[in-house]
Chains A and B, each alone.
Chain A
Amino acid sequence: MIFNLALKNLKVKPWRTVATIAVIALAVAMFFCMFSFGDAVYEYIYAVETSAAGSSHLLIKGRSNEDKLAFVDPLYSLEDVEYVCPSLSLYALAKRADGESEYVQMRGFDRDKLQLLQTIEAADGNVDDLVANEDNVAVSEAMAERFGLKVGSRFEVSSLAGGGKSVGFIVAVIAESDGYFLSDAPYCVIGTVDGGVDRLVGGLPVYNEIYIRAADGKSTDELAAEIAAMPEYANLTVDVSADTGYVKTRADGISAPVTVSGVAVAVLCVAGIVLIFALGIADKRAYASKLTVAGATKAQLLGIFLTESAIIAFIGAAVGALLAGGVFVLLLKAVLSSTLTFSVNGLLLFGASVAGFAVALAASLYPLLKVFGSSVRENLDSVQKPAKSGVVFAVALAAVTLVLLLVENLVPGAMGVLSVVNMILLLALGGAVVPFAVRGAAKVAGRSSSPALKVASYSVVRERRASRTSQTLVVGLMVVMLLFVSWSLTTSIFGDYTKEFENMILVTNVSSDVNLDEFEATQGVNSAYFTVWRQADISFAGGKQSTTNIIGSDGAQALGLMAFEYVTPEADVRNILESAEGDSIVLDYSVHELNGVSVGDGVVLKVGGDEREFTVGGFVRHNFFNGNYVLVSQRLLAEKFALSPDTVILVADSDAESVAEAVRSAFSDRNYYAVPAIEAYKWDVQSIDSVFNLVGTLAFVLTALVFVTALAGVTVGRSLSERTRGTLLCAGLSKSALLASETAEHAVSVLTAFVLAFLLSLPAALCLVNALRLFGLYFGFMYNFWVAVTAGLSVSALYVAVPYVFGFRKRYGMMRR
């Protein structure tokens, strides 16, 4: 009986039921998307970072570019090794169809090991053909398009060394952008050795990289130590082939703004669900009253309403779960990579569904509190007991939020978790204050002589549904503004970074006795820096550790590379880097903010397994790199790690591409790899850009969610006021004026919500920036006024246009049946 009654009540207002289910489903989908974002970005960056090394654990390489690895056999005798995959990797110039040459990375493998590290997915051609002929190679679809190649095409590749020996290759496979080809900058060409790629270095089957995968259960560190102890590899580097710690740091850094915003999105989803149930309170009370009169007990009422809510919540959660997995993977495929397989975290999906179900069920209990707290008559007429609790709550919340904001920003070390709490409090404050603000605005609008504005004013001031919708709008607008601001700021910081690098050229494959004057004599080169650029781990007092990049500076030269801001006076920083003694290094200021490290403190740098202690000498600041670099003098690197410079950075005073070309021609007799820095990090640039695009896409999706939730609220609310509209028409309001009135009602609600959301989004953005400290990121306060206003006004304009767009006028009528 209870189930039937619940089901019948759901069928009475089908649109309301559908709207409620839709809101729950969207909330579940957004819960899942926001909290899966970090994992998805990690998967993506991991796949990109490991595209060369594939499933291997260790990589043996020479310490200098000239080193060749002669011995592979001893590795086969090692126990606990799943595979050993030697390869030859070298940069070369390939000729395009238009006659121009372009850098490519030639990689040669033993014939039976071509797909040991990665699987080659053929978009065209047959992978088996790669071993049929030593000239055969696989190229990516991107390279095939750029070079004008098809399966069977022949193209010339010139070695960078030995006077540019030219060798012909035939395209046997055009591969999908996956595996080896996921990081395709410069374009990757996969072939064989023993008469294949090795022809570029004289036709000998030599290798310069050996990839190793440890057997299951074998520690990678132990295996690396074993190999390093073997005399054949004593002078080589044995390191992990993909630094998962580095990948995690990068993924966390990129996804942090969205992960933090995820909390705000969760609040929005909860608000949406609560709103949709709150809008049906009057109906529920009237229904409960009728059932009570018919003899229903409280337990039966509870049973009926809970059954009804459980049915809706279950369907909503199930639809949301189906939507979430599919939509999110489609989104990732569309924005990040169409070839990567992204996994759906089943536990997270289940958690999101359960959360959506639980929130919906809990929200549905609110009408019951009203039902049980009122008499049958009060329920029938939906009598509101006068209460000032709303004002008291809003004032108390404002006071608490203000105090906690002050604590967060004034008490050292308070930022982080408290920032997240304050962000939630600010969202709640918006929801608590907006009904009063909207009523105030409506009263002002009601002074107009326009009948439409007067009717709108009556409705907004007196009807609860207007307050509830405005609460969803203010929370939604705040979240939308925060997401769009996050997107624009990360994108603009990234834009500044690429701008800073657009005049730089990286020259690698250089010997240690390189003469910088020769480079500076090349046309278009403004200055040249000989430097060390290595990944390292840095540890601070208290055990905190992170991944960083060591920039080895020749004297204070590195300071000219990027636009650093000086926290420690520039003269002192220069002294530190130019000093002939001591062990001082220069760190990014974020290290001070995040880890409490000060000048004079000790830190430990770990490079290639060697750990050395240094003293913090000073701080500089750089917005994009944000803690991911350490400036160390080359003297110190040589003393502590025996590292010598291996990269020349050129700063061009004209187009970097043409200057790189000039450098290549000037040094055509040497095995230099000279490319614009932007080109060298093309894949990094593309991958970060893709992640930012995903952030942007999510911002748009969330905007749609806010809009749909508000629309669902409008649908439910209007279903309860159909007769009122009929009465207004009966009293002489024209259909046009009624439409204008409903539009004005929307405008008053959303514009007030917008103003409030904008004001509160400023401290909320500060909280968001502060909360990034939880992810090891430090930024000063940032806000993009125009982006926030544009995003907020766009949603507002859409909401104002709803009565027109959805043809409210067509359904106006005075008929009663």
Chain B
Amino acid sequence: MSNRILQAENVKKSYVADSLVTEVLKGVSLSVDEGEFVAIVGESGSGKSTLLYLLAGIDKPTEGSVTLLGRNLASVSDEDMAAMRRREISFVYQFDNLVPHLTAYENIVLPLVLDKRKEKDYRDSVSEVCDFLGISARLNNLPKQLSGGEQQRVALARALVTSPKIIFLDEPTGSLDKERGTQVMELLKKINEERKVALLMVTHSAAHSAYASRIITIEDGLIKK
């Protein structure tokens, strides 16, 4: 139990639209340990992205509880959640991860700037992360001047510079071609192995889920046993 960083208990989520209740998640329980690489797979509409949002504290469950880094998310304030995102967890979307009017470097250091950290304190570590991800030459470019793969690597760099304990990834290769998708997956594997960062990744690609140490399959709002 000591190395468990995420615990979800009987998480349910439903939406109401035009008096019609749609139950997306019907009671999901799972856990993630420190340094683990977990892939959540499932068909479109199975509820995997919704589950990721709930586990990352971006959305709230209708029922059930989520405990992240020892804190029950139901009782974590907006301010504390924001602080967690600046220091302990990161999130990477499928695309549009970057602020369009900021350069790649400004995007990468954004959580550090928001955390009021001094540049001299993080300059070296950011440089090391950028070298690690192979984007050091593109730091002064705006997102629109970068390729899709480069943009995704910048997003990963931003996710890494805070030295998080866990990174949530929502189909991080979904907008990339096969070759670049594989490159990103190799990077993620490297991040997980070398930096001991837990990864929780949603994907619909069986090939990419194979990089994970554990695979959770969601089907019709439930974990398939």
> Which of A's residues lie within 8 Å of B, judged by CB?
381-383, 449, 451, 454-455, 458-459, 462-463, 723-724, 727-737, 813-816
Residues of chain B within 8 A (CB-CB) of A813 are 58
Closest-CB distance, B90 to chain A (whole angstroms): 8
- The answer, yes or no, to whether B210 is at the interface (CB within 8 Å) is no
Residues of chain A within 8 A (CB-CB) of B82 are 729, 732-735, 737
Closest-CB distance, B94 to chain A (whole angstroms): 8
Q: How far is the CA of A482 from the CA of B113 in the complex (A)?
A: 42
Q: How far is the CA of A382 from the CA of B99 in the complex (A)?
A: 14
Jot down 28 A-B pairs with beta carbons below 8 A, ordered by A. Answer: A381-B144, A449-B116, A451-B113, A451-B114, A451-B116, A454-B114, A458-B101, A458-B102, A458-B106, A462-B101, A723-B96, A724-B99, A727-B98, A729-B85, A730-B91, A730-B93, A730-B97, A731-B86, A731-B111, A731-B114, A731-B158, A732-B87, A732-B115, A732-B162, A734-B81, A814-B53, A815-B59, A816-B93
B114 to A382, Cβ gap below 8 A?
A: no
B69-95 contact mask (Cβ, 8 Å, vs A): 1 or 0: 000000000110111011100010110
Residues of chain A within 8 A (CB-CB) of B101 are 458-459, 462-463, 724
Q: How far is the CA of A462 from the CA of B98 in the complex (A)?
A: 14
A736 to B78, Cβ gap below 8 A?
A: yes
- The answer, yes or no, to whether B176 is at the interface (CB within 8 Å) is no
Q: Which of B53, B58, B83, B85 is within 8 Å of A731, CB to CB?
A: B85
Given A731-B111, A732-B86, A737-B114, also A814-B99 (CB < 8 A) = no
Given A734-B79, A816-B93, also A728-B99 (CB < 8 A) = yes
- Nearest residue (CB) in B for A450 is B116
Residues of chain B within 8 A (CB-CB) of A451 are 113-116
Residues of chain A within 8 A (CB-CB) of B116 are 449, 451
Closest-CB distance, B175 to chain A (whole angstroms): 12
> Which of B's residues lie within 8 Å of A, judged by CB?
53, 58-59, 78-79, 81-83, 85-87, 91, 93-94, 96-102, 106, 110-111, 113-116, 144, 158, 162, 170
Closest-CB distance, B71 to chain A (whole angstroms): 16
B110 to A731, Cβ gap below 8 A?
A: yes
Given A462-B102, A735-B78, also A727-B59 (CB < 8 A) = no
- Nearest residue (CB) in B for A738 is B82
Residues of chain A within 8 A (CB-CB) of B91 are 730, 814
Closest-CB distance, B217 to chain A (whole angstroms): 22
A815 to B113, Cβ gap below 8 A?
A: no
Q: Which of A382, A383, A727, A728 is within 8 Å of B96, CB to CB?
A: A727
Kindly list 20 other residue pairs between chains A and B, CB separation below 8 angstroms, not including A451-B115, A734-B79, A813-B58.
A381-B144, A383-B144, A451-B116, A454-B114, A458-B102, A459-B101, A463-B101, A724-B101, A727-B97, A727-B99, A730-B93, A731-B114, A734-B82, A734-B83, A735-B78, A735-B82, A736-B78, A814-B91, A816-B93, A816-B94
Residues of chain A within 8 A (CB-CB) of B86 are 731-732
Q: How far is the CA of A731 from the CA of B53 in the complex (A)?
A: 15
A730 to B85, Cβ gap below 8 A?
A: yes
- Nearest residue (CB) in B for A463 is B101
A815 to B58, Cβ gap below 8 A?
A: yes
Closest-CB distance, A384 to chain B (whole angstroms): 10
Closest-CB distance, B140 to chain A (whole angstroms): 14
Residues of chain A within 8 A (CB-CB) of B53 are 814-815
Closest-CB distance, B12 to chain A (whole angstroms): 17
Q: How far is the CA of A736 from the CA of B82 in the complex (A)?
A: 10
Q: How far is the CA of A382 from the CA of B143 in the complex (A)?
A: 12
Q: How far is the CA of A455 from the CA of B110 in the complex (A)?
A: 9
The 5 closest A-B pairs by CB, nearest first: A732-B86, A734-B82, A462-B101, A381-B144, A732-B85
B114 to A724, Cβ gap below 8 A?
A: no
A455 to B100, Cβ gap below 8 A?
A: no
Q: How far is the CA of A386 from the CA of B78 in the complex (A)?
A: 40
Q: Which of A382, A454, A455 is within 8 Å of B144, CB to CB?
A: A382
Residues of chain B within 8 A (CB-CB) of A458 are 99, 101-102, 106
Residues of chain A within 8 A (CB-CB) of B113 are 451, 454
Residues of chain A within 8 A (CB-CB) of B93 are 730, 816
- Nearest residue (CB) in A for B83 is A732
- Nearest residue (CB) in B for A383 is B144
Residues of chain A within 8 A (CB-CB) of B110 are 728, 731-732
Q: How far is the CA of A463 from the CA of B99 in the complex (A)?
A: 11
- Nearest residue (CB) in A for B97 is A727
Closest-CB distance, B78 to chain A (whole angstroms): 5
Residues of chain B within 8 A (CB-CB) of A459 are 101
Q: How far is the CA of A724 from the CA of B102 in the complex (A)?
A: 10
Q: How far is the CA of A597 from the CA of B96 in the complex (A)?
A: 72
A733 to B96, Cβ gap below 8 A?
A: no
Closest-CB distance, B201 to chain A (whole angstroms): 16
Closest-CB distance, A813 to chain B (whole angstroms): 8
- Nearest residue (CB) in B for A460 is B101
Q: How far is the CA of A733 from the CA of B114 in the complex (A)?
A: 6
Q: How far is the CA of A815 from the CA of B24 in the complex (A)?
A: 15
- Nearest residue (CB) in B for A720 is B100
Q: How far is the CA of A732 from the CA of B79 in the complex (A)?
A: 9
Residues of chain A within 8 A (CB-CB) of B96 are 723, 727
Q: How far is the CA of A816 from the CA of B93 in the complex (A)?
A: 9
Q: How far is the CA of A736 from the CA of B79 in the complex (A)?
A: 8
Q: How far is the CA of A735 from the CA of B111 in the complex (A)?
A: 14
- Nearest residue (CB) in A for B90 is A730
B100 to A724, Cβ gap below 8 A?
A: yes
Closest-CB distance, B167 to chain A (whole angstroms): 11
Residues of chain B within 8 A (CB-CB) of A737 are 82, 114
Q: How far is the CA of A727 from the CA of B114 in the complex (A)?
A: 13
Closest-CB distance, B169 to chain A (whole angstroms): 12
Q: How far is the CA of A373 from the CA of B59 in the complex (A)?
A: 43
Q: How far is the CA of A381 from the CA of B86 in the complex (A)?
A: 29
Residues of chain B within 8 A (CB-CB) of A728 are 99, 110, 114
Closest-CB distance, B151 to chain A (whole angstroms): 12
Q: How far is the CA of A730 from the CA of B170 in the complex (A)?
A: 13
Q: How far is the CA of A734 from the CA of B116 in the complex (A)?
A: 13
- Nearest residue (CB) in A for B168 is A730
Closest-CB distance, A629 to chain B (whole angstroms): 63
Q: How far is the CA of A723 from the CA of B107 in the complex (A)?
A: 14
Residues of chain A within 8 A (CB-CB) of B158 are 731
Interface-central residue, A382, A728, A731, A734, by most chain B CB under 10 Å: A731
- Nearest residue (CB) in B for A735 is B78
- Nearest residue (CB) in B for A809 is B78
